[in-house]
Amino acid sequence: MLAATRIYQVAVPTPLYRVFDYFASASLVAGTRVRVQFGRREMVGVVVGTLEHSELPRNRLKQVMRILDEAPLIPPTLLMLLQWVADYYHHPLGEVIHTALPVYLRQGRPVAFKGEMAWSLTEAGRGVRQEMSHRAPAQKRLLDALAAAPDGLVAKQLMEISLRWSATLKVMRAKGWVSSHPHDTPRVSPRNILPSPELNPGQKSAVAAIAARLGHFHPFLLHGVTASGKTEVYLNVIEQVLSQGKQVLVLVPEIGLTPQLVERFQRRFQAPIAVLHSGLNNQERLNAWIAAIGGKASIVIGTRSAVFTPLNKPGLIVVDEEHDTSYKQQDGLRYSARDVAVMRASREKIPIVLGSATPSLESLKNARAGTYTLLDLPDRTGGAGMPHVRLCDMRRLKPTDGLSLPLREAIAARLEKREQTILFLNRRGFAPVWMCYDCGWVAPCRRCDAQLTLHRKRQKLLCHHCGAEQEVSLSCPDCHGTNLHPLGEGTERVEGALEKFFPRARIERIDRDTTLRKGTLEEKLRRIHAGQVDILVGTQMLSKGHDFPNVTLVGVLNADQGLYGMDFRASERLFQLILQVSGRAGRADKPGEVLLQTWHPAHSLFAALQRHDFHGFAEFALGERRETGYPPYSHLALLRAESPVPGAALRFLREARGLAVSLSPGEGVQIMESLPAPLERLAGRYRAQLLIQSRDRTPLQAFLRRWVVQLAEAKFSSKARWSLDVDPVDLY
């Protein structure tokens, strides 16, 4: 009896760094979900391997309770990718798999599409329609109707053609003439498809270079200034991939912010597109997943986690705005979707295009080293020039509510010409500080080492770190005076000031507070496009990919934010951000202007911005990184710890550091000192961190592997909550 059973390694979602052995009498393939008894709980796990012998004695080995999939759920290449992710980010495989699956599949539900199904003609059906005899009128009528409906027909429509449509279609499906598919992928009719514009020489050679590598792994870095036609390059390559019957995965930073991009894809291709974003419910997410794995969706567009979407016939991966930090997950499995995408492309043996107007220094270095092929689009399309960048020296200009006189004059000039203005301020709320002018007290968050932001319309003080809400104190708790005032400006205050300065202008504010309700952002964007808005003020939400042809002025109210930040990437971020928002100005045929309000006009970063000199900036920044030994000239890992008990996180890290040193980490791997996090107390928890830096990746990875396993089992580890962040993007 024993010989007939097999032993399987099953990954279950637990924090333990190992897989678990179970036996089953059926033969199971890796990638299949099973329900197993784990301790006293039942869990959904995934078979990841087969064993001849288990180290567990036979009587302690449990049997798989139930097999949940007839065929393996996770294709082998994807399973291997997830294995790599687990190894690279030092995260338990069971949790990695759990993260990668739609919620319903994690819960053990069947791979079942629910939702309206549509029916379409197959190639065979199209062929047979011509010679259809009149003896099968019901079939003929359905064939004719389906032939006229490229999106397919749903039950309601079929009913109007034949009451017995269901039985008839079943017969026809058995003959291979029709197929059914999910109806939730909107498609446009062929006559509304927008053709590609004639590509310029730069675009043509980029498309040719990528197309030449289809069917092989090859990473490309597509660097093109804003509005240089990068998206058009993606679309043209994608067209070729689709014509080979292959699928395309497109990653974007945030879909809610770029409905135009999705729309552009939908208006270009007849092919069904699955869009994966945070607004989907669990069933919709599963539907999209099924459409992708079944090959029904030719294009999958999604945010970070879409990188794990299984594809039937992958042909190309595109990562738009590859520098965007939202590709990095900041909790749980802290992966970089961009980096995972590159690894995935290499496993799937397909090309990958990383596109940006402001590539990350990591990708740029890879391009310079020849690991990635650099494709440059130096000019804006249609002869539009780069916007003129002007600095407002705020040491001389006294701003009112954050707006300097030159900026106000520039806005007035746009209003006169009926052109639009975007004002950018990376701070929401009315004022970042609520202060007693008598004694200097500022309203603190009770749970964080941070100040509260005044939100005047809501009449509340809010903590932007933990979300805590407090009443606006009208007397000072320290000196009992009543001389309390808001200090500094946020978007809400600027909006109010604009209303005073320009009473007749139509003003919109876009930030997290004004776009809470579903659909409001889309509505605001629509109004801007329709020319119903004169001045737009908002946070970084505005910096991403929007194409507003009538915007000719961009004002950056506090260009210094991040100039002297604690993070070694602060200036890179600032440069990217300003170049991106500047890209919103004067896209089409109207020249644009960018006004930067700064207290440090002599800073070299602004000189590079005025010249639109990304490479100049990159040269400087890379030099700085090389000198200081920061990435991309080294590799980092950050061990973070937190605890509600003061000092516990630091004590844990000191123990962890001791363990690290005792493991002799190896050539070039440096263990820094344990430190309190820059924002030490957050939401009532005390946080600390320990940085590991290494010249090369291999010894770092080897060390982390040994260290993390021991950490997970060490007794002192229960004293604080901890996590390891490989390639951290934020050091706080």
Q: Report the interface residues with ligand ADP, using CB under 6 A.
A: 197-200, 203, 224, 226-232, 381-382, 547
Which is nearer to ligand ADP, 105 or 227 (by Cβ)?
Answer: 227
User: In terms of CB distance, is 33 or 380 closer to ligand ADP?
Assistant: 380
Q: Residue 439's binding partner, choosing from ligand ADP, Zn ion, none, with beta-carbon cut-off 5 to 8 A by kind?
A: Zn ion
Min. distance of Cβ 562 from Zn ion in angstroms? 21
Q: Which of 47, 350, 468, 525 binds Zn ion (CB under 5 A)?
A: 468
**By CB under 5 A, is residue 26 in contact with Zn ion?**
no
Q: Which is nearer to ligand ADP, 143 or 594 (CB)?
A: 594
DSSP-assigned letter for residue 442: B
Residue 365 CA to residue 269 CA, distance in Å, equals 34
Distance CA 667, CA 512 (A): 46
Q: What burial class does residue 723 get, using C-beta atoms within 10 Å of its C-beta: 0-12 exposed, 13-18 middle, 19+ buried?
A: middle
Q: Of the listed pieces 188-196, 348-356, 481-489, 497-505, which binds Zn ion according to CB under 5 A?
A: 481-489
Closest-CA residue to 339 (of 88, 670, 65): 88
Assess 478 for contact with Zn ion (CB under 5 A): yes
568 binds Zn ion (CB under 5 A): no
Terminal-residue alpha carbon distance, the chain: 57
592 φ, ψ (degrees, to nearest 5) = -110, 165
Taking CB within 5 to 8 Å according to partner kind, which of Zn ion, ligand ADP, none is near residue 468? Zn ion
Residues 539 and 590: their CA atoms lie apart, in Å, by 24
In the structure encoding, which two tokens stand for residue 117, read together? 């199904």
479 belongs to the binding site for Zn ion (CB under 5 A): yes
- Angstrom distance (rounded) from CA 78 to CA 121: 31
Nearer to ligand ADP, 76 or 197 (CB): 197
Give yes or no for residue 403 binding Zn ion (CB under 5 A): no
The verdict on 476 binding Zn ion (CB under 5 A) reads yes
> Helix (H, G, I), strand (E, B), or coil: what is residue 4?
helix
Candidates 85-93, 460-468, 527-535, 594-602 — which segment interacts with Zn ion by CB under 5 A? 460-468
Cβ atoms of residues 537 and 494 within 8 Å: yes
CB of 687 to Zn ion, least distance (A): 13
Q: How far is the CB of 268 from ligand ADP (least distance, A)?
A: 10
CA gap 397, 401 in Å, rounded: 12
Grouping H, G, I as helix, E, B as strand and the rest as coil, residue 528 is: helix
- d(CA 46, CA 401) in angstroms, rounded, equals 57
Q: Which of 46, 345, 448, 690 binds Zn ion (CB under 5 A)?
A: 448
Helix (H) or strand (E) holding 161: helix 155-161
Residue 447 interface partner, choices ligand ADP, Zn ion, none, CB cut-off 5-8 Å depending on type: Zn ion
Stretch that binds Zn ion, among 10-18, 131-139, 462-470, 647-655 (CB under 5 A): 462-470
**Which residues 6+ apart lie within 8 Å of 446 measured at CB?**
468, 470
Task: Give the list of residues 6+ apart from residue 344 with CB closer than 8 angstroms, or none.
Answer: 81, 307, 317, 352
| Contact partner, 231, from Zn ion, ligand ADP, none, Cβ < 5-8 Å per class | ligand ADP
In this structure, the number of other CB atoms found within 10 A of the CB of residue 114 comes to 12
Give the binding range for Zn ion (CB under 5 A) out of 271-279, 311-319, 364-372, 448-456.
448-456
Considering the complex, state which of residue 226 and residue 247 has its C-beta at the smaller distance from ligand ADP: 226
Q: How far is the CB of 614 from ligand ADP (least distance, A)?
A: 13
Surface-to-core class of residue 201, CB atoms within 10 Å of its CB (0-12 exposed, 13-18 middle, 19+ buried): exposed
Residue 445 binding result from Zn ion, ligand ADP, none, given CB thresholds of 5 to 8 Å by partner type: Zn ion
The least distance separating ligand ADP from the CB of residue 273, rounded to whole angstroms, comes to 17
Q: Quick one: 230 or 365, whose CB is closer to ligand ADP?
A: 230
**How far apart (Å, rounded) are the C-alpha atoms in residues 342 and 400?**
48
Contact of residue 287 among ligand ADP, Zn ion, none (CB under 5-8 Å per partner type): none
Among the candidate windows 30-38, 456-464, 592-600, 699-707, which touches Zn ion by CB under 5 A? 456-464
Which of ligand ADP, Zn ion, none binds 184 (CB below 5-8 Å, type-dependent)?
Answer: none
User: Which of 16, 442 has the CB closer to Zn ion?
Assistant: 442
Q: Shortest approach of ligand ADP to residue 591 CB, angstroms?
A: 16
Rounded to whole angstroms, how far apart are CA atoms 338 and 357?
16
SS3 percent helix, strand, coil of the chain, rounded to 5, is 35, 25, 40
Is the Cβ of residue 142 or residue 461 nearer to Zn ion in the bound state?
461
CB of residue 236 to ligand ADP, shortest distance in Å: 9
Q: Which does 239 bind (CB under 5 to 8 A by kind): ligand ADP, Zn ion, none?
A: none
Q: Binder to Zn ion among 441, 568, 620, 716 (CB under 5 A)?
A: 441
Residue 31's contacts (CB-CB under 8 Å, 6 or more residues apart) are 46, 47, 48, 72, 73, 74, 75, 76, 78, 79
- For residue 265, the minimal CB distance to ligand ADP (Å) is 12
Looking at the Cβ atoms of 57 and 383, the one nearer to ligand ADP is 383
Q: Does the protein bind Zn ion through residue 452 (CB under 5 A)?
A: no
Cα separation, 566 vs 703, whole angstroms: 27
Q: Which stretch binds Zn ion (CB under 5 A): 9-17, 287-295, 470-478, 599-607?
A: 470-478
Rg (the chain; Cα; Å)? 29
Residue 382 contact among Zn ion, ligand ADP, none, beta carbon within 5 to 8 Å by kind:
ligand ADP
Half-sphere exposure of 724 (CA within 13 A, CB side): 25
Q: Which of 112, 167, 171, 439 binds Zn ion (CB under 5 A)?
A: 439
Nearer to ligand ADP, 358 or 514 (CB): 358
- Dist. CA 300–CA 271, nearest whole Å: 11
Binding residues (CB under 5 A) for Zn ion: these are: 436, 438-439, 441, 445, 447-448, 463, 465-466, 468, 476, 478-479, 481
